[in-house]
Amino acid sequence: MRLGAPLNLTDQLFPETIVPVLVPLPSDRPYSYTVPEGMAVRPGAIVQVPLGPRQVAGVVWDGPIDAIDAKKLRPITHVFECPPLDETMRRFIDWVAEYTLSPPGLVVRMALRAPAAFDPEPWITGIEATGEAPDRLTAARQRVIAAAEEAHAWSKSGLAHAAGVSVSVVDGLIKQNVFRITRFPPPPAVAEPDTGYGRATLSPDQAKAAGDLVAAVEQASFAPILLEGATGSGKTEVYFEAVASALDQGKQVLILLPEIALTQSFIDRFDARFGAPPAEWHSDVPPRRREAIWRQVAEGRVRIVAGARSSLFLPFQELGLIVVDEEHDPAYKQEDRTFYHARDMAVVRASLGGFPVVLASATPSVETRVNAGSGRYAHVRLKARHGDAALPELALVDMRRHPPARGRFVSPVLATEIKKTLQRGEQTLLFLNRRGYAPLTLCRVCGHRFQCHNCSTWLVDHRLRGILQCHHCGFSMGRPEACPECGTLDHLVACGPGVERIAEEIVEDFPDARTIVLSSDIAGGPRRLRRELEAVADGEADIVIGTQLVAKGHHFPKMTLVGAIDADLGLANGDPRAAERTFQLLHQVTGRAGRTGLASHGLIQTFQPQHPVMQALIAGDPENFYESEIDERRRSALPPFGRLTAIIVSADTRADAENHAREIRKAAPEAPEIEMLGPAEAPLAVVRGRHRFRLLVEATRRAPIQSYLRATFAKAPRPRGSVQVQIDVDPQSF
Ligand code: ADP
Ligand code: ZN
């Protein structure tokens, strides 16, 4: 074992006999437990503790202990034989909790997502029921047997955790031969990356950029760095040098990717460069594999992880570099329980750990761009595409002057280009960020619109599956033939396009072309999507019609035409980030073309050719866009020049939600430079049958927003009944 020091329980022991333990529940602070005689724990140790009638895993914390009557405290049940969460990780968890106003228990839960890995043997054993009955069937034993029936258990601690009992109950059942331990072949050893393998010869421009990154890694101190360069300029090749340098120093490295399930091409590329794939960490990795990775990260044996945002909470021991690829990507924002932005938290983790963090993008977020402009972040740039690959030539199609035929969406100009591309034997990508066939269905006779029964949204027509579906709650119904309102037959019409409808139009016009639709609706999930993307890269399709899924990171050598069907789509929603998002998405999707030196172009269909986003796109210089957008944000004190927090109050009834939101508003203290607005109905007023109201907190950049919010919530009544409150610090869209 190279990194994780062997467990030495006499080291930094708690002298106290009462210790705080943070348990993965929505509690505000650690609970106190006693340390039984003969047991040794230290901060960061993963332990099992009783909680009410159950046993849960928690982490021995540090800091003050609640003054409670020691006689009432219960003892820690078990110390897992597992490297403790280090000091940096504990401070990181505290920091995330403090910043996002989440209970620390919910944040620590993200770090404890692999319960079966807390014991050292997990991936070589399994636990199997023998069919024998125990001598006595206690409630705890019953729970173990039920848990084992529900899911396969890999280890004693995993099974104990699933059942919420102590490991000794499982031990007892094994002793009685109710369960037996089985052995699995050990997982394939993690291949060590070879930093000298497959190294590219860098261009002078690239070599200089790589030199800057490597210097930062060698410094081994906190340094946030924006690595900016057009798609295809070699950012990945360049940051691989920084990765190699960190690995050479014996450090662990984390590469964050926005859509890991779709990044087989990234894994292959890493493999080609380092002679071994990185460990993958995301929701699509099978549980047993995940547990093995968690354990090996904790032991320092896995040195390189490529993962989704949740990999920030892996128990690294010697993390020395984080790379956030496509740092502007909205997928980095988690909006579920703990609302956090993985890019921002990556910077925090690097700062606490004292190492560099590289944010890579062709179209950085405005936040990051401002930080680079002010010198807070270093700014490393790559100027041109690598080799003879040129960026595609972009042109706008003014849809007012070149309208498609009625009921169609591809302009004659774009259709002509598609035809020429087909004749050259090259590929076309048609981009429309809308799943399904049509976003709205209405009755031509009475005007009835199909709305979700649970949400304030229209149902989306998914014609391939024959259903109308809500994209917020999943509610669906068969597409009827008669209007449910007026009963008229055969007068329901689809309004507006989705990718399926574009496909219908294309197949009509180009019946001999091989056309494929790629969106998250694809049957077979991420694996199937990966295969389809590979097939496209291998030239097995002529025309690809896709949502934003196809915008990211894929390398399609024969793709020379990109058409944006409705470039204005994202601009309409009144979100302050609408212009930024639209610019990033269109820049990125048109960047899919011309990656291998073939002449290529992009046609952008728009009704607003004068819009600054459209103008900046065809000028081919992101600088134009950033300058005007940053000016605009500064003038209107929008992020990052001001800060926002959204508070969403939801409840089963409209009145409950609104009343509670008003109570919160009343509880808000007077504070200079901070103002609470609202409540107003949230942009999605009803979701899954829950009514939603929103308060918006506007503050200056330096205002103490967290303490203001804490004061507010300390004074506001606790949510009761169906009322729920979500706090979204730095919301990404609103
Ligand atoms: P980015 O990450 O900026 O989009 P990549 O690193 O993916 O750019 O590079 C684009 C393409 O050019 C890739 O196929 C990559 O292998 C190739 N490439 C970039 N730099 C070099 C180099 N120095 N030598 C050989 N190939 C390179
Ligand atoms: Zn719905």
Nearest listed ligand to the Cα of residue 270? 1
User: 29 with 68: CB under 8 angstroms?
Assistant: no
Name the pTM for this structure: 0.89
Classify 315 as helix, strand or coil: coil
Going from the Cα of 537 to the center of ligand 1, the distance in angstroms, rounded, reads 16
| DSSP 8-state code for residue 119 | S
pLDDT-derived band at 22 (thresholds 50, 70, 90) equals very high
| CA max distance for the chain | 84
Look-up: residue for tokens 């977020």? 365
Take atom 18 of ligand 1 and give the residue whose Cα is closest.
234
User: 409 with 496: CB under 8 angstroms?
Assistant: no
User: 439 with 569: CB under 8 angstroms?
Assistant: no
Whether the ω angle into residue 278 lies within 30 degrees of 0, i.e. cis, is no
> Looking at the predicted structure, is the pLDDT value of residue 1 above 70?
no
Which residues, other chains included, contact 76 with Cβ-Cβ below 8 Å and sequence gap of 6+?
19, 21, 33, 34, 35, 36, 39, 41, 47, 48, 49
Nearest to 268 by CA among 521, 463, 555: 555
Q: In the chain, count of helices (H) and strands (E)?
A: 19, 31
CB-based burial label for 636 (10 Å; 0-12, 13-18, 19+): exposed
Distances (CA, A) of 171 to 119, 149, 701, 727: 14, 17, 55, 43
The whole-number pLDDT of residue 151 equals 67
β-pair type (54-60, 333-336): unpaired
The C-alpha atoms of residue 231 and residue 553 are separated, in whole angstroms, by 9
495 is in an annotated binding site: no
DSSP E strands, 315-423: 319-325, 333-336, 338-341, 356-361, 378-382, 393-398
Whether the ω angle into residue 640 lies within 30 degrees of 0, i.e. cis, is yes
The whole-number pLDDT of residue 70 equals 67
- What number is the ipTM of this complex? 0.97
Going from the Cα of 238 to the center of ligand 1, the distance in angstroms, rounded, reads 8
pLDDT-derived band at 259 (thresholds 50, 70, 90) equals confident
Nearest to 612 by CA among 633, 596, 591, 597: 633
User: 370 with 224: CB under 8 angstroms?
Assistant: no
Going from the Cα of 202 to the center of ligand 1, the distance in angstroms, rounded, reads 9
User: 605 with 397: CB under 8 angstroms?
Assistant: yes
Q: How many other β-carbons are positioned within 10 Å of the β-carbon of residue 334?
A: 17
> Looking at the predicted structure, is the pLDDT value of residue 141 above 60?
yes
Find out whether the beta carbon of 234 lies less than 6 Å from any atom of ligand 1.
yes
The C-alpha atoms of residue 401 and residue 28 are separated, in whole angstroms, by 60
User: 445 with 581: CB under 8 angstroms?
Assistant: no
* Test site for ligand 1: of 208, 237, 590, most ligand atoms within 8 A of the Cβ: 237
Nearest to 93 by CA among 81, 109, 82, 79: 109
**How high does pLDDT run on average in the chain?**
90
Find out whether the beta carbon of 236 lies less than 6 Å from any atom of ligand 1.
yes
Nearest listed ligand to the Cα of residue 459? 2
Q: What is the pLDDT of residues 499-531, one digit of tens each?
A: 999 999 999 999 999 999 998 888 777 778 888
Whether the ω angle into residue 36 lies within 30 degrees of 0, i.e. cis, is no
* Test site for ligand 1: of 363, 386, 559, 584, most ligand atoms within 8 A of the Cβ: 386
Find out whether the beta carbon of 633 lies less than 6 Å from any atom of ligand 1.
no
Find out whether the beta carbon of 231 lies less than 6 Å from any atom of ligand 1.
yes
Going from the Cα of 690 to the center of ligand 2, the distance in angstroms, rounded, reads 10
Q: How many other β-carbons are positioned within 10 Å of the β-carbon of residue 538?
A: 11
| DSSP 8-state code for residue 12 | T
Find out whether the beta carbon of 203 lies less than 6 Å from any atom of ligand 1.
yes
Nearest to 387 by CA among 663, 692, 566, 596: 596
Q: Which of 162-171, 181-190, 330-339, 355-364 holds the top average pLDDT?
A: 355-364
The C-alpha atoms of residue 309 and residue 323 are separated, in whole angstroms, by 12
82 is in an annotated binding site: no
The C-alpha atoms of residue 663 and residue 717 are separated, in whole angstroms, by 7
β-pair type (543-546, 515-518): parallel
Find out whether the beta carbon of 588 lies less than 6 Å from any atom of ligand 1.
no
> Looking at the predicted structure, is the pLDDT value of residue 27 above 90?
no
Closest ligand 1 atom to 201 CA: 23
Nearest listed ligand to the Cα of residue 690? 2
How many angstroms separate the first and last alpha carbons of the chain? 48
The C-alpha atoms of residue 443 and residue 494 are separated, in whole angstroms, by 9
pLDDT-derived band at 250 (thresholds 50, 70, 90) equals very high
Q: What is the pLDDT of residues 559-616, one digit of tens each?
A: 999 999 999 998 977 788 999 999 999 998 998 887 777 889 999 999 999 999 999 9
The whole-number pLDDT of residue 553 equals 64
Side-by-side strand order, sheet with 476-478 = 460-462, 467-469, 476-478
Residue 274 pairs with which residues in a beta bridge?
none
**CA angle in degrees (0–180, nearest 5) for 539-542-544:** 100
Closest ligand 1 atom to 233 CA: 3
Find out whether the beta carbon of 32 lies less than 6 Å from any atom of ligand 1.
no
The C-alpha atoms of residue 141 and residue 132 are separated, in whole angstroms, by 13
Average pLDDT, stretch 332-357? 95
Take atom 25 of ligand 1 and give the residue whose Cα is closest.
200
Share of the chain above pLDDT 70, in %: 94
User: 100 with 338: CB under 8 angstroms?
Assistant: yes
Take atom 23 of ligand 1 and give the residue whose Cα is closest.
202
pLDDT-derived band at 668 (thresholds 50, 70, 90) equals very high
